[in-house]
Amino acid sequence: MTASPTDDRARILLVDDHPMMRRGMIQLLEFEDDLCVVGEAGSGEEALQLAAELDPDMILLDLNMKGMNGLETLRALRERGVDARIVVFTVSDDRGDVISVLRAGADGYLLKDMEPERLLEHIRQAATGQLSISPQLAQVLAQALRGGDEQPKRLEDLTDRERQILRQLAQGFSNKMIARKLDITEGTVKVHVKRVLHKLGMRSRVEAAVWAVENRLG
């Protein structure tokens, strides 16, 4: 399951406390030319360890795990500076769950009852930097990101570089990709992203990206 250093495939870490679900996902992904499973974790704690060791491009994360659940794992991953695309993969279509994980920094929310072909499309979408969400949850997403918008957000508060970073976020680029495009270090990008979120009063890059697109900044 290990990708070579020159491998261009999206490197995926599976996190689910059900071995059969992990096995099924591995079987689904193993024949895809552009996707590669590099590791699997059966708990949130194991996910934190493997994310640090493997540095995956994407983490496919179950929400309802025993012990450390998916939301707690997601928050811990982001707090530790994990820059991988994190897509929650769950049976729950609860509005509160959708809002919570997107606010916590998830890059997508997919339901486990999707058809395999459709699931692969969404995983590829997330791998290329786009927000990936099950179609039936799109309205919930819009409401979640527009809700609680009491204070106006102003582009004038951002520096030219911060606006530049926000435009890259709107296009769905990861910190690594932004660093390459702007010829700056990944650490510098992380600092700018934190400042952008702070100035705009937002809690996740997904929220900032959607807002930037709605305001035609992308």
User: In the listed set 88, 120, 145, which residue is the last one of a domain according to the structure?
Assistant: 145
Write out pLDDT tens, residues 80-119: 989 899 999 999 888 788 878 887 888 888 999 889 999 9
Domain count along the chain: 2
Residues 73, 45 share a domain: yes
Q: Which residue has the tokens 């930097």?
A: 129
Q: Which residue has the tokens 């951002």?
A: 158
Write out pLDDT tens, residues 7-18: 678 999 999 999
For range 35-51, the mean pLDDT: 96
Those residues whose C-beta lies under 8 Å from the C-beta of residue 112, and which sit 6 or more positions away, are 21, 89, 90, 91
Task: Supply the DSSP symbol for 18.
Answer: -
Share of the chain above pLDDT 90, in %: 48
Q: What is the DSSP string of 170-197?
A: HTT--HHHHHHHHTS-HHHHHHHHHHHH
Residues 45, 124 share a domain: yes
5, part of any domain: no
Confidence of residue 201 (pLDDT cuts 50, 70, 90): confident
Identify the domain containing residue 114 by its residue range: 10-145
pTM above 0.75, yes or no: no
Q: What is the DSSP string of 117-163?
A: HHHHHHHHHHHTT--EE-GGGHHHHHHHHHTT--SPP-GGGS-HHHH
